[in-house]
Chain A
Amino acid sequence: MIAITKIGTYLPEKKISNLDLLDKFDTDEGFVRDKIGVVSRTRKQPAEKASDLCVKAFEDLMSKSELNIDDIECCLVVTQNPDFNIPHTSAIVHGALNLPENCACFDISLGCSGYVYSLSIVTAFMQANGMSQGLLFTADPYSEIIDENDKNTALIFGDGATVTLLESAKEGLVALGFEFGSKGAGYKNLINDGKLSMNGRAVFNFTAATIPVSVNQLLEKLNLTKEQIDRWYLHQGSKYIVDTITMRLGLDKDKVVFDMYEYGNTVSSSIPLLLSKDLENINAGEKIALSGFGVGLSWASAILEMN
Chain B
Amino acid sequence: MSNVTAEQILATIESAKLVKDVNVLDQDKPLRDQGIDSLDFSAVLFNIEEAFGIEIPDSDIDSLQTINQIVLYVNAKV
Q: A-side interface residues toward B, CB under 8 Å?
A: 31, 35, 199-202, 204-205, 208-209, 238, 240, 244, 247
Contacts and interface: CB of A to CB of B under 8 A. Distances in A.
Interface string B24-62: 000000000000011100110110011000000010000
B39 A240 contact: yes
A205 to B, nearest CB: 5
B77 interface: no
Contacts of B49: 205
Given A200-B39, A204-B39, A240-B39, 4 more contacts: A204-B42, A208-B46, A247-B16, A247-B17
A204 B17 CA distance: 16
Contacts of A208: 43, 46
In terms of DSSP, what is the predominant structure of the interface of chain A?
A: helix
B34 to A, nearest CB: 15
Contacts of A205: 42, 46, 49
Contacts of A199: 58
A31 B39 CA distance: 9
A201 B58 contact: yes
A247 B16 CA distance: 8
Name which of A201, A204, A208 has the most chain B CB atoms within 10 A of its CB. Answer: A201
Given A199-B58, A201-B58, A35 B43 contact: no
Nearest to A36: B39
Contact of A209 (B37, B50, B58): B50
28 contacts: A31-B37, A35-B37, A35-B39, A199-B58, A200-B38, A200-B39, A200-B42, A201-B42, A201-B45, A201-B46, A201-B58, A202-B58, A204-B39, A204-B42, A204-B43, A204-B46, A205-B42, A205-B46, A205-B49, A208-B43, A208-B46, A209-B46, A209-B50, A238-B39, A240-B39, A244-B43, A247-B16, A247-B17
A240 B46 CA distance: 14
Contacts of A247: 16-17
A246 B60 CA distance: 29
Nearest to A203: B42
Nearest to B61: A201
A262 B43 CA distance: 25
